[in-house]
Amino acid sequence: MANGLDDVVAAETVLSDVDGAGGHLTIRGHSLTELAGHWRYGQVVRLLFDGFFDELPGDDELEKAIGNARVEIFERLQPMLAELPALDVYSGMRAGIALLPDGESLADALRLIAAPAVLTPALLRLGRGEKPLTPDARADHANDMLRMLSGTPSPALAKALDTYLVTVCDHGLNASTFATRVVTSTQAGLTSAILAGLGALKGPLHGGAPGPVIEMLDAIEASGDAAAWLRNEIARGERIMGFGHRIYRVRDPRADVLKAVVRRLGTRNESGRRLAFAETVEQAALDVLKVAKPQRSIQTNVEFYTALLLEAAGFPKEAFSNVFAAGRVAGWIAHAREQQATGRLIRPQSRYVGPVPDLVA
């Protein structure tokens, strides 16, 4: 039996390939390093959607359509926004998305692309007692998300967030993507499928990990001794957040992409100081883990530098999973459409190991 479905092939896909042994990520025939920092998020959405929607427009037209979808989402959900901050920011985003039509069209898909980017800054602003800002349909997706959060962003921050969204857009058959495909296989609509992905992403072992990275860095900085703090956590049986991955047995390639992005934000400001400290913690963690768990190769994963990038962009740690979802939603939709086109109802078997009743002859 495959515990946790390890090594079980549950789908054939053209969308992404995670090479855990070599430390490579391929997205629709392109390496991550070819895409991240070079392709805009809207272009990668088109790459993922190609072949799954009829009459898919070109890059510029699709990005305009995503911009229009942001405005539509804001206008559609604005009357309900005042009620959503009673929830945490992730649950508020999920509740807003649950109000969208459960359709299958490209317009439905673009609304789902737009929704996390609109709802997250709106809910954060409302939580601070500020009025949400109306989307700008003409703006780049990442730029507009930051503008709606805190005003006009610097080009460097907008570029950094855009690179992040591209970096996390798809990653094989991870827990949230598999949940999306399971729900899609029942012939439920795209909104239902995305809500399943959002539910899986909330867990601390999946999309919820970057927030605890910030807590870890703050605790280590307060302690003054990274190695001692890390050894104590391991001795208590705690996980070191931002390290280790279910698939990668070498360094997560997304970690290096995001580390470079954070470095480009500057070395003289708070982001630079935070990066220098994080690099010290990273090396200490790798050294401690090598000694504590010599039988395993535990390397830096995407969550470690995700935390630094999103913190620098102005997002509080409770919204990190929201921003992850804003990038990953493109992959979820593409997988949902692929499942509809090539898959069938997902219904694995289980092995009963409970008590057996006495059968009367």
CATH number at residue 178: 1.10.580.10
Secondary structure class of 30 (helix, strand, coil)? strand
pLDDT of residue 247: 79
pLDDT of residue 21: 84
> Does pLDDT of 348 surpass 60?
yes
Task: Residue 253: give the domain boundaries.
Answer: 210-312
Q: Identify whether 38 is a catalytic site residue.
A: no
- Residues in contact with 288: Cβ distance below 8 Å, sequence separation at least 6, in sequence order: 227, 230, 231, 234, 240
Task: Tell whether 64 and 198 lie within a shared domain.
Answer: yes
Task: Tell whether 184 and 231 lie within a shared domain.
Answer: no
* Marked catalytic residue, from 141, 171, 206, 245: 245
Task: Tell whether 96 and 244 lie within a shared domain.
Answer: no
251 falls in which pLDDT band (50, 70, 90)?
confident
Q: Identify whether 171 is a catalytic site residue.
A: no
* Marked catalytic residue, from 63, 72, 233, 303: 303
Question: Edge-to-edge strand order for the sheet containing 24-27?
Answer: 16-19, 24-27, 30-31
Task: Tell whether 107 and 48 lie within a shared domain.
Answer: yes
Structural domains in the chain (count): 2
Nearest to 64 by CA among 52, 72, 74, 53: 72
> Does pLDDT of 234 surpass 70?
yes
Give the tens place of pLDDT for each residue, 177-192.
Answer: 999 999 999 999 999 9
Residue 54, classified by CB atoms within 10 Å of its CB into exposed (0-12), middle (13-18) or buried (19+), is exposed
269 falls in which pLDDT band (50, 70, 90)?
low
Strand partners of residue 140: none
CB contact at 8 A, 28 and 14: yes
